[in-house]
Structure 1
C-alpha cells in the first residue's frame, strides 16, 4: 500500500537514524500476523523513545478503537477498546496525522486516560484501505515531549504499509 506523507519536517536524518530505518524496512519483510504487529510496536517504542504505542483497528461501527497491540515501555499490555469521541485518536481520523508536542491533556480534557497516564505528547497517524477508508491507527504517547518527533514520524511512515496490510488482513472474514 502507498502511504501518504502528510507532515513536512525540516529535518535531515542522522546516520544512525538511516540504519534504524533500514532495520525497519527489513522488519516489514518478516511474516505477518499478530507477532508482526507486536514486533513493530516494540521496534517503534525502542527507536522513537516513547512510553506507549497503540496499534488499533476501528470497530465495525467506526466509533471505537480496538487495540491490536498496546505497549507500555516496550512491554505488551492487555488490549482494550475505547471510544474515539473526545480522544486525540478522533483527530487522527479527521486529519490523517496529528502531533501534539505538549499539553495534549489540555486539548482533550474528557480523555481521562491521558490524565491517568500523565501523557504530555501524542503523535498519531491513520491506516487506510486501498479505497481510502480508515481501517485503524497508530498512536505514540509519552509523559514528556517526544525526543525527536520528525524521526518518529519517519519510522511510522516506513512501517505503516506493512501494519496497514496486517490490519486489513485481520479484518477479512477468511482469517
Structure 2
C-alpha cells in the first residue's frame, strides 16, 4: 500500500522506543482475532501515553466516521458515529496527517466532543484501502500535550498496514 508523507522530526529513537517498535512488529505478525483493533489501541495508548485513542471507519460518502475502537484510559467506550465537518479528523482526510500540539478545542469550536472531553492536543493519521483511497483514521487525543508526538507518528506508521487490513475486512463485511 502507498503511504503518506512522513514528518521529519528531529530526534533519535532511544532503546525503549526501539523495543516498542519491535513489539509493535511482533503484534502485527501474530494471528489476528476479533479483538485485534482493541489490542492495537491499548498498545498505542500504553506506549504513547495518549488519554484517548480512536480508530474509525470512513462512511461511503466520506462525511462521517464510525468508531471501531474508542478508548479512554485504555478502557473501551461505546462506539459511535460522528460527522467530520468542523473536526480535526476532517483535516486528517485532506492532509493525511495532522498534529495539533495544543489548543485543538479552540481551533475547532464547533466540535462539541472536543469541548466536552477537554481535548488539548490531537494527532491523527489516515488509513488507506487496498485501492489507496481513504478508508479510516486514527486519532490520539489528550487533555495535555502528547508526550512524544514524533514517536507516536512512527508507532502508528509501523502499525498502519495491520490496522488497514482489519479496516478493509470490516468494510467488506458491511
Whether TM-score is above 0.5 comes out as: yes
Q: Is the 8 A contact 1:33 1:166 kept in 2?
A: no
Alignment match, 1:104: 104
Deviation at 1:77, TM superposition (A): 1.0
How many aligned residue pairs are there? Answer: 174
Q: Is the 8 A contact 1:65 1:81 kept in 2?
A: yes
TM-score (norm 1): 0.95
Is 1:117 matched with 2:117? yes
SS in 2 for 1:53: strand
Mapping for residues 19-98 of structure 1, pairs under 5 Å: 19-98=19-98
SS at match of 1:56: strand
Q: Which residue of 1 aligns with 2:161?
A: 161
Alpha-carbon distance between aligned partners in 2 of 1:158 and 1:59, rounded to the nearest angstrom: 25
Helix, strand or coil for the counterpart of 2:35? helix
The Cα shift of 1:5 comes to: 4.2
How far residue 129 of structure 1 moved from its aligned partner, in angstroms, is 1.5
Structure 2 unaligned residues grouped into runs of 5+: none
For the residues of structure 2 that align with 1:33 and 1:86, how far apart are their CA atoms? 34
- Structure 1's unaligned 5+ residue stretches are none
Contact 1:120 / 1:143 at 8 angstroms: preserved in 2? yes
Post-superposition Cα deviations, 1:77-134, rounded to whole Å, max 9, x if no partner, equal 1101000000100000000000000000111000011111000000000001232210
* Counterpart mapping for 1:137-148 below 5 A: 137-148=137-148
Structure 1 counterpart of 2:129: 129
- What is the CA RMSD across the aligned residues, in angstroms? 1.2
Partner of 2:4: 4
Runs of 4+ residues deviating >6 angstroms:
none
- TM-score in terms of structure 2 length: 0.96
Instruction: Provide the rounded CA distance (Å) in 1 between the counterparts of 2:19 and 2:171.
Output: 33
Matched, 1:150 2:150: yes
Question: Secondary structure of 2:136's partner?
Answer: strand
- Is the contact made by 1:2 and 1:161 (CA closer than 8 Å) also made in structure 2? no
